Chain A
């Protein structure tokens, strides 16, 4: 579903590469943790999948297509096939929960009837039934992230990218979010989650790809991750 072929990304000429000859393949319906310290290149990976940036060398394939060959007017179509959530939720503060999720459907031209039918289902999937009319500021952090996830998956993308989605949440709330992501994954969506939260990684027992200074240093099925804090503690 996602394939990196010797991808190098250099942001500015004289800095070290954010990604350095990364080769990686993520299969359909797989769940992958992308782990590594801050600055190791996780967000860069996600940006390249979305074609938010261009690779410096190598190639990124999404659903078999080299994203470098997608003309700019087709990029929206690529992005419709990919849902994204971030650490900071990025909800629209003046719209209700329902309207925030519906927004993602409106802007790609879905009919009102389809929206009315789909949004409540998705809100149920992420565990927000009955909160349709709440405003974002009336929600907890975990609930806000669920809204963001609902918005990311409402157009039924094949891939869900999550960039440190639990970064702003406490451990209990984070586990709730992980359950939601796991459920979405088990419905057939490929999930790539960037994180440096070792507790979560170790509880989930999924494939773990570890980046260090832009290089893949480890790729384990059902792996674990020992974060920096633990390394320092040992």
Chain B
């Protein structure tokens, strides 16, 4: 009976404050979407780290015709230079750092290039002699790129030593910045949501002060008096959380795994089920913030 009563009061409260309740739903929806976006970016970064850190290589590019670095002053790499470099890479003194060395010829480089840009018109204009041959070096510890760089960057016949990991790190930096921005926006929006809940609950308590006054006098417990108000805020926030989850799921499902995954088949994108792992967090965050905000407001504005 008490439960039914609380539900009834809750229903009438939601109806009476419909516009405010809808604004709580929308504000929590937007803010939790940003929170979730930041979370998804972090998941994506972790996923890519896990995938790529095993695969990233240091590429030792060898000189071609139009290389400009000082170590290429003698023109394209000679067979002797190439053998010399390979010998050093595979020597005893580097085995501590280097796990495997693969040679990639100009033709193989062209093949990879054509795979990577299969849909792009530049493929047709590139020929094998424009692409440098290289040694692809897998490191025991991917952090030890500098060792290879120092040893080879000025060796005759080597154009540049490039660390794929650095490219990834740059990408991760961008993604981290994006997720920090999303979190900042989320923080501001969540603050709005908390204040909006407080205002709504205050109005709601004010418009029902007659009822609550009588409830107090006839000895209704604090819980029965406060619960309908708290639930009003919490339910609105939880609905916002559900909408945010739905939106993030749709983004992961259609945008990431649909469109982007097709454009970048090499990249491992997070799956839409991972959004569902985030869902309880988002919904819980919304619910707890709304609940705490309502309780604090009621403590000030509703005598029990």
Is B219's CB under 8 angstroms from A90's CB? no
Residue from the list B1, B217, B224 in contact with A84, Cβ < 8 A: B217
A77 to B211, CA, bound (A): 18
B277 contacts partner chain A, Cβ-Cβ < 8 Å: no
A83 to B217, CA, bound (A): 8
Known contacts A103-B214, A112-B1; 5 further A-B pairs (Cβ under 8 A): A84-B217, A106-B1, A106-B2, A106-B5, A110-B1
Most buried by A among B217, B220, B222: B217
How many residue pairs at the A-B interface have CB separations less than 8 Å?
60
Secondary structure class of chain B's binding surface, majority of residues: helix
Is A79's CB under 8 angstroms from B219's CB? yes
A76 contacts partner chain B, Cβ-Cβ < 8 Å: yes
CB-CB under 8 A from A50, the residues of chain B are 217
B215 contacts partner chain A, Cβ-Cβ < 8 Å: yes
Residues facing A in B228-255 (CB within 8 A) are none
A107 contacts partner chain B, Cβ-Cβ < 8 Å: yes
- The verdict on A107 contacting B215 (CB below 8 Å), with A76-B220, A76-B222, A112-B1 known, is yes
Count class of interface residues, chain A: 20 to 34
Is A90's CB under 8 angstroms from B210's CB? yes
A110 to B2, CA, bound (A): 7
A6 contacts partner chain B, Cβ-Cβ < 8 Å: no
Closest to A104 in B: B218
A155 to B217, CA, bound (A): 12
Q: Digit string of B197-224 for contact with A (CB within 8 Å is 1, else 0)?
A: 0000000000000110111111111101
CB-CB under 8 A from A90, the residues of chain B are 210, 213-214
Is B219's CB under 8 angstroms from A76's CB? yes
Residue from the list A80, A92, A152, A155 in contact with B210, Cβ < 8 A: A92
A230 to B221, CA, bound (A): 45
Q: Digit string of A159-176 for contact with B (CB within 8 Å is 1, else 0)?
A: 000000000000000000
A155 to B218, CA, bound (A): 8
Minimum CB–CB distance for A151 against chain B, Å: 7
A106 to B220, CA, bound (A): 9
Is A92's CB under 8 angstroms from B218's CB? no
Is A92's CB under 8 angstroms from B217's CB? no
Minimum CB–CB distance for B121 against chain A, Å: 72
CB-CB under 8 A from B2, the residues of chain A are 106-109
A208 to B219, CA, bound (A): 28
CB-CB under 8 A from A103, the residues of chain B are 211, 214, 218
Closest to A50 in B: B217
A30 to B135, CA, bound (A): 105
Residue from the list A77, A106, A112 in contact with B219, Cβ < 8 A: A77
Residue from the list A73, A81, A111 in contact with B222, Cβ < 8 A: A73
Minimum CB–CB distance for B249 against chain A, Å: 40
Closest to B5 in A: A106
CB-CB under 8 A from A77, the residues of chain B are 219
A211 to B1, CA, bound (A): 43
A216 to B158, CA, bound (A): 108
A126 to B221, CA, bound (A): 27
Is B1's CB under 8 angstroms from A80's CB? no
